Structure 1
Amino acid sequence: MKKCFIVWIAILLITTSCSHPEAIETKNIKILYSSYADFKRDYGSVIDTQFSDTNIEIIEYKGVMGEGIWDAMKYIPKGDLDWNVKGYIDLIKSESPDILFFPSEVYMELQNENMLKDLNIFSTDKDFTAGINEHVLTTLNELGGGSIYAFPQSMVSQALFYNKDVFAKYAIPEPTDQMTWRELLLLTQRFSGNSDLRGLYTPYYDYADLLIEMGKADNRRWYDASQQEAHVGTEFWKDLISNEVTAYSSGGISIEGGIPIDLFSQGEVAMILETPYFMKQVQSLNPNVNWGVVTEPVGTENPDVSSTITYPIMSGISNNAQDLAMATEVWKQLNNKRTTEMRSNSSMDKFTTPIRQLKPGTEQDVFYTLKPSVSTLMERVPLHIELKQKTDRIINDGIQDAIKNPDSLHPIIDKMQEDLTHVLYTEAQK
């Protein structure tokens, strides 16, 4: 009887142990992101499906780093001179996040502080790099001095769309890939003389933005902040201003308001500098429009380089990640091809496109043809919003005056040079 009881107890213990398996250990990962709401919008579904047994804690940096805004296709800090990089680094030190997301301008600082894990292992992983544009990988290697420490979330890119029927109607040759800015301005003037038609519409550039962009394409800046000196009075900038004024005076370019897709579809503009989102609009909303697309205009010195391609947000793995294996797995899932496709399909972002060519061999290739400018990507925000508004106003007013009074172009440029230098000097004395 006693033996039977002992056997029964043994069976009961075995049965009990089998019915209560060991509890699975919950993993904890900290992610530094602009805000919790932003992260849920961008990656919530990925985390919910792939890491349901992982505790993901979001540390918000927006309140410390500053909020970003779009200005002429650039993602810049709102209001301040620059992103609060020191505050961001202090946040890393105090909160010890495992995965870091950050504006690309912060990348070099984090690299210099040795805060990012080397991600070169992913650059040779064919499954992970599937579809990533070769220019992106080359550029990331250059930025990292031969190693990759962060990957972009997406990239800003633009292209030149044109209405084929408008060009055919006026028997004007269509634009081509890698036209220089000067060639494009000359092409726009072929459409002058018709008040109902403009050769080019630039919805994201006013007079100043366009001038600065043309100069940047040849690695020229209109000012030297360290010397509080403007350069618009030099021959290079005088020539650019003259070309721009001529194009506007002829009626070839328009910056007047209007819904871009409507103006383009109705044949009121022959060409338009636009973004990947515009391509989606043309393809879905106006499938009957006979359109083409070529690369954005380039500089004469660097015809295979784009000065507008930027990486607004990048991400990497902290060198001090508490659980490196888990942090690596989560980061990889947030940046793999499947997640890229999901985000691309749901994104309504006007300016960005994935770093992966999800549909190679289609019109989308145009956004990946040119190489990013490394000098542009490494450039910190040079002018804070208030100062930029002042200098832009001087340039815009000057060009507008020159359009109305082309015979007074040189005195107007001289005044622009004087006024801009004064503003830069005054700002430096504060």
Structure 2
Amino acid sequence: MFSRWKLKGLLAVLLVAAVVLGGCGTGAKEALPKLDAEAEGTLRVMFWDENYFFQKYGNLFATQFPNIEIEVVSTRSMYSDMDESGVFDYKKAFRKFVDKEQPDVLMMNIESYEELAAEGMLYDLESVIAQDKFDTAGMLPSVVELLREKGGGKLYGLAPTFYSNALYYNVDLFNEHQIDLPRDQMSWQELFDLAKRFPTGGDEKERIYGLQLRSYQSSIFDLINSMGQTEDLAFLSGDGEKLTFDSDNWRRVFDMGVNAIKSGAVYTPKQQDMMGGMTMEEYYSRDLFISGRVGMILGATYYMRELEQASEMSKTIKKFQWDLVTIPVNPADPETSSELSLSDIFSVNANSANQRAAWEFIKYINGEQFAKIQSRSFDGDLLTRTSIMKNTDNRNIEAFYKLKPKSTTNNTWEKMPSNFYGTLTNLFNEEAQQVVDGKKTTEEALSAIQEKGQLELIKAKEEEKKQKEQQEQNPEQTEEVSEGSAQSETVADAP
């Protein structure tokens, strides 16, 4: 769909064009003609949910350009390519979606951003950033640097928010037991050593722990996989064909994690405690950190809000002093984190007829005014424009910002059959528990995980291949199934 801008804006277009043509001899890239506030047209924006888009971005952008109509191109339709068994190729579906819909503004993750930038599908923002004197200095430098690096030295997109984790700790509990407070950039071993300084005795319903897994994690595999990611370990080979647990590095990480659990310092919630309906009172009481019985827990930004709300919504939860430090790091690379990531990168489609309007949208949602508004109603997102972030509680929120995102991440999990992860998790937990209980050695457990897991991987790949062949042979039937699956979706999917 092509936009038609008001005639009075055409004079500005011609004026800018004349200036640009006059400077063509210098080799300068043609500037984008500016729009006035009364400009009209339709802008197609790629996003995962229309209602949330307008709540988060669209309504505020409309205050700047009220006559520009935004048409949200929902990425939910991408998932109609998934059959009932869950076979889904995200990259293939993403490209198919972009080629078909041709949105003016694209939203993507860092992997898609890098690929589309390399293929010339994204508009180079460097010239228009200079033209509009758009301030990137107030944005988190590591994020801007990563986007430029993934763009081959050029900036093809901006991200208004990013995702990160930090280590929360109970200051009162540390002081009570006269234990040194955590510090930024500890290793996993240092974290476990600190956790082990808390007492491990007492009644199971009242005792305290040094460390709790993330509030949404509950297994040994969750812990050891997180440790492996910190050290850039992948449990699949680069081609996705072979498990890689039979390595010295995985043995070392496995031993470290299992020994920490055997020490009694790490709390791993029982699976039955994580399931079923519960009241908010029960929910908070089952989180031992919120209940004041755990020294440290790994968590995202939304966990700050849960801590503040718990004492207000629960009659039994008491407030305590808490603070933050960075999540554990790889001692060989202490400045970076695999848990600082970008999921919502916005770029201008290089083929768009509305490049200026698309840039105005991206410029606004990455600008200072928008960030100030967002900072007043914190919803868990971390703002890339850190210059306006305020911390009224004097907590170390820099822990979320301090580490740099890794320039390369291990994405071999994308080559894993969709039904294999659960199988691997169950197998890993069963074997690791045998080591915790003293019934197997690390070598025996990892050997079993490698051998049994490899057989399950081969089986899962064969099943996936068979499903894809059936899908190709019966496209009409698959389409009917896909449409039914899409219609039954009730949760928004992010790309």
Task: Please indicate the TM-score interval, normalised by the length of the shorter structure.
Answer: 0.7 to 0.9
User: Given the alignment, which residue of 306, 313, 319 partners 2:350?
Assistant: 319
Q: Give the corresponding residue for 1:424.
A: 457
CA 1:348 to 1:260, structure 2 compared with 1: closer, same or farther past 3 Å?
Answer: farther
1:276 matches 2:298: no
Partner of 2:115: 109
Task: Flag the 1:171–1:244 CA change in 2: closer, same or farther, 3 A.
Answer: same
Q: What letter matches 2:370 in structure 1?
A: T
SS at match of 1:116: coil
Amino acid at match of 1:204: Y
Contact kept in structure 2, 1:167 and 1:173, CA below 8 Å: yes
Aligned counterparts, 1:259-408, within 5 A: 259=284, 263-282=288-307, 288-346=319-377, 348-349=379-380, 352-357=381-386, 358-359=388-389, 363-376=396-409, 381-405=414-438, 408=441
Which is worse superposed, 256-265 or 339-348? 256-265
Partner residue in 2 for 1:63? 77
User: 86, 93, 98: which is aligned to 1:92?
Assistant: 98
Deviations 1:282-317 (A, max 9, x none): 456659522221100011211111011111221100
How far has the Cα of 1:378 moved from its partner?
Answer: 7.2
User: Structure 2 stretches of 5 or more lacking a match?
Assistant: 1-37, 275-282, 312-317, 466-495
* Residue 171 (structure 2) aligns with: 164
Contact 1:261 1:278 in 2 (8 A): no
Contact persistence 2:240–2:412 (CA under 8 A): no
In our comparison, the structure showing a higher alpha carbon Rg is 1
Q: CA RMSD in A?
A: 2.9
Structure 2: how far apart are the matches of 1:48 and 1:166?
48
CA distance in 1, matches of 2:56, 2:406: 27
User: What residue number does 1:18 align with?
Assistant: none
Q: Structure 2 residue aligned with 1:219, among 226, 232, 242?
A: 232
Aligned residues: 395
2:106 counterpart SS class: strand
Amino acid at match of 1:93: D
Residue in 1 that maps onto 2:152: 145
Q: Could you tell me which residue of structure 2 aligns to residue 204 of structure 1? A: 216
Query: 1:74 is matched with which residue?
Result: none
Letter in 2 for 1:201: Q
- Structure with the higher strand share, 1 or 2: 1
Contact 2:324 2:397 in 1 (8 A): no
CA distance in 2, matches of 1:379, 1:415: 21
- Tell me which moved more, 330-339 or 136-145: 330-339
Larger mean Cα displacement after TM superposition, 400-409 or 363-372: 400-409
Q: Percent same amino acid among aligned pairs?
A: 26
User: Kindly tell me: are residues 185 and 66 of structure 1, through their superposed partners in 2, closer, same or farther at Cα, counting changes over 3 Å?
Assistant: farther
Query: Is 1:187 paired with 2:194?
Result: yes
Q: Tell me how far apart the structure 1 counterparts of residues 415 and 336 of structure 2 sit (CA, whole Å).
A: 21
For residues 294 and 375 of structure 2, the distance between their equivalents in structure 1, rounded to whole angstroms, comes to 28
Q: C-alpha distance in 2, partners of 1:301/1:67?
A: 41
Amino acid at match of 2:190: E
Distance 2:243 2:413 in 1: 19
**CA displacement 1:341-381 (0-9 Å, x = unmatched):** 334444534xx422222326752211110010111287773
* Contact kept in structure 2, 1:105 and 1:381, CA below 8 Å: no
Q: Is the 8 A contact 2:39 2:65 kept in 1?
A: no
For residue 250 of structure 1, what is the aligned residue in structure 2?
263
Are the structure 2 counterparts of residues 262 and 409 from structure 1 closer, same or farther at C-alpha, using a change threshold of 3 Å? closer
* Equivalent in the alignment of 1:45: 59
Gap change, CA 1:153 and 1:338, over 3 Å in 2: same
Consecutive unaligned residues of structure 1, counting only runs of 5 or more, are 1-23, 69-77
Report SS of the residue matched to 2:45.
strand
> Matched residues in 2 for 1:197 and 1:282: separation?
18
- Distance (whole Å) between structure 1 residues aligned to residue 211 and residue 127 of structure 2: 45
Alpha-carbon separation, structure 2, partners of 1:79 and 1:239:
34
Instruction: Give the conservation status (yes or no) of the 8 Å contact 2:434–2:440.
Output: no
Query: In the alignment, is the contact (CA less than 8 A) between 1:81 and 1:383 conserved in 2?
Result: no
Secondary structure of the 2:288 match is helix
Q: Cα distance, 1:149 vs. partner?
A: 1.0
Amino acid at match of 2:211: L
- Describe the superposition over 1:42-71 as per-residue Cα deviations: whole angstroms up to 9, x where unpaired: 223213322211122222222125699xxx
**Hey, what does 1:32 align to over in structure 2?**
46
Tell me which residue corresponds to 2:443: 410
Q: 1:169 Cα shift?
A: 1.9
The structure-2 alpha-carbon separation of the partners of 1:51 and 1:167, relative to structure 1 and needing over 3 Å to count, comes to same
Looking at structure 2, the residues matched to 417 and 377 of structure 1 have their Cα atoms a distance apart, in angstroms, of 19
The 8 Å contact of residues 419 and 460 in structure 2, kept in 1 or not, is answered as no
Q: Offset at 1:271?
A: 0.5
Question: How far, CA to CA, are the matches of 1:354 and 1:174 in structure 2?
Answer: 27
1:102-134 deviation line (CA, Å, top 9, x unaligned): 233322332233211112246667753253111
- Distance in 2 (CA, whole Å) between partners of 1:302 and 1:67 is 39
Residues 82-113 of structure 1, C-alpha deviations (whole Å, 9 max, x = no match): 41x34433443343321111233322332233
Letter in 2 for 1:217: T
- Structure 2 distance, partners of 1:407, 1:239, is 16
For 2:239, what is the secondary structure of its paired residue?
helix
TM-score, L = length of structure 2: 0.72
